[in-house]
A = this chain, B = another copy of it.
Amino acid sequence: MPAFNAFYGQSGGVTSVINASAAGVIQTAKKYPDHIKNVYVGEDGIVGALTENLIDSSLESEADIEALKHTPAGAFGSCRYKLKSIDEHRVEYERLIEVFKAHDIRYFFYNGGGDSQDTAHKVSQLSATMGYPITCVGVPKTIDNDLPLTDCSPGFASVAKYVAVSILEASMDVASMSSTSTKVFVMEVMGRHAGWIAAAAALARDERDLGPDLILFPEVTFDKDAFLARVKDTVEKKGFCSVVVSEGVKNPDGRFLSESGITDAFGHAQLGGAAPEVVETIKQALDYKCHWAVSDYLQRAARHIASAPDVEHAYALGAAAVEFAVNGDNAVMPTIVRTGNHPYTWKIGKAPLAEVANVEQKMPADYISDDGFFITDKCREYLQPLIVGEAYPPYKNGLPDYVTLKKHKVEKLTGKDFKLKR
């Protein structure tokens, strides 16, 4: 069987462990020289395939590829670019085939969340629909943890650990200050559609009851009166209150909290965060001194406090994707299958891309407590094992020694430019 080149791309919002998946793909591909000649990586994901900006992974040192395991963000660049259907946008698919043919690419590995697995699924159909033989395997990744058919998705567990550690620390801070100063701390976390990340903050609360006290989930419509009553009650009982709010929380009118009509001096709508909005609500009703934080990219880039199982999952899924491909699987995605909680054990499974693409795994209703402000024991049982274990990067001069790749480009062969449709 002749060997061909492989394409690998990073897609969607990056994570602190997506580069570990890249290392899994690249290092594992080297084990199968009879199948895979070289891994060409798209600069900025599928955009690099369309524009023929391919990075030759074989020209990176082995040490640098190994260092991807501890390097956050997208070392090759990522993109937010969704392929439309072949009917709608045939020219993009023709261009992909043109580039793949020119570079002898017959394997396609795409590393991303729901939208990206949709892209992978569409590419996997090129054989059937356009007669170009390609083996396509998705590699899961999303901090939102909303991919179906997998126990969890790489990126999420590290955000979960970051969020739990951060709210524990900040809750201890506000506890210290509350007698004469700040009474309420509000931390905003990501998760526009699902409350997985917000839920993870709950792991910080133990029998010492430091915090978080209240969690606002996107699954639960914001009930201002009930929330304020709980804040007041908590401050009166404990002296302080620690709150986690998901960016995706909505008002009864269906709008995000962060769009609550705040305007700037010029009357422009101010897209502030949910946290300052929650704080404003508390201040106006209860007049407590509040502090708030919005962790934004800090949470998903925080490789310095990554979860060890997350790093292991990410690498193993990249490696499994290559194994699947060389074994002839097409249009699939490796998954994490949990096999035990005490101790936490897992193995690699396999899901058809057709069943993954565009399906959102919501938080089960029984993961949120009846009052809507916390998680259930069942949710804790699910989340807890995912954050156990640290995977510290090496440090140099006081900072994590993250690698920056050389990114040598593969010579362009198609002789044509391609204009991205946006």
Q: Which residues of A contact B (CB under 8 A)?
A: 10, 13-14, 16, 43-44, 47, 71-75, 77-81, 161, 164-166, 168-170, 172-177, 179-181, 185, 187, 203-204, 208, 210, 260-265, 268, 270, 272-273, 275-276, 280, 284, 291-298, 300-305, 307, 384, 386-390, 392, 395, 397-400, 402, 404, 422
Residue of B nearest to A46 (CB): B180
A180 close to B307 (CB less than 8 A)? no
For this chain, the copies found in one complex come to 2
Please give, as numbers and ranges, the residues of chain B lying within 8 Å of A264 by CB-CB distance.
260-263, 280
Q: Is the CB of B74 within 8 A of A301?
A: no
Minimum-distance CB pairs A-B, first 8: A74-B176, A261-B265, A387-B398, A169-B301, A73-B172, A293-B296, A388-B398, A173-B301
Specify which chain B residues have a CB less than 8 angstroms from the CB of A265 in the assembled complex: 260-263
Assembled-state Cα–Cα distance A345/B96 (Å)? 58
Contact B203 A399 (CB under 8 A): yes
Q: Does the CB pair A13–B177 fall under 8 Å?
A: yes
Give the CA-CA distance A395 to B262 in the complex, in Å.
41
A-B contact sample (14 more), CB < 8 A, given A169-B298, A305-B305: A44-B179, A73-B173, A81-B180, A164-B399, A169-B402, A210-B404, A262-B264, A263-B264, A270-B270, A270-B272, A270-B280, A292-B294, A298-B298, A390-B392
Q: Which residues of the partner chain B approach A208 to less than 8 Å between Cβ atoms?
A: 404
- The residue among A71, A187, A399 with the most chain B CB atoms within 10 A of its own CB is A399
Q: Residue A402 contacts which of B172, B180, B302 (CB distance < 8 angstroms)?
A: B172
- When distances are taken between beta carbons in the complex, the residues of chain B under 8 Å from A392 are 390, 392
Q: What's the Cα separation between A327 and B75 when bound, in Å?
A: 57
Q: Indicate whether A398 sits within 8 Å of B164 (C-beta atoms), given known contacts A177-B13, A260-B265, A296-B293.
A: yes
| Known A47-B179, A390-B395: A293·B284 in contact at CB below 8 Å | no
Once bound together, how far apart are the Cα atoms of A285 and B304, in whole Å?
35
CB-based contact A273/B276 at 8 Å? yes
**B80 near A177: Cβ-Cβ < 8 Å:** yes
State whether A173 and B297 are in contact (beta carbons under 8 Å apart), knowing that A79-B180, A181-B80 are contacts in the complex: yes
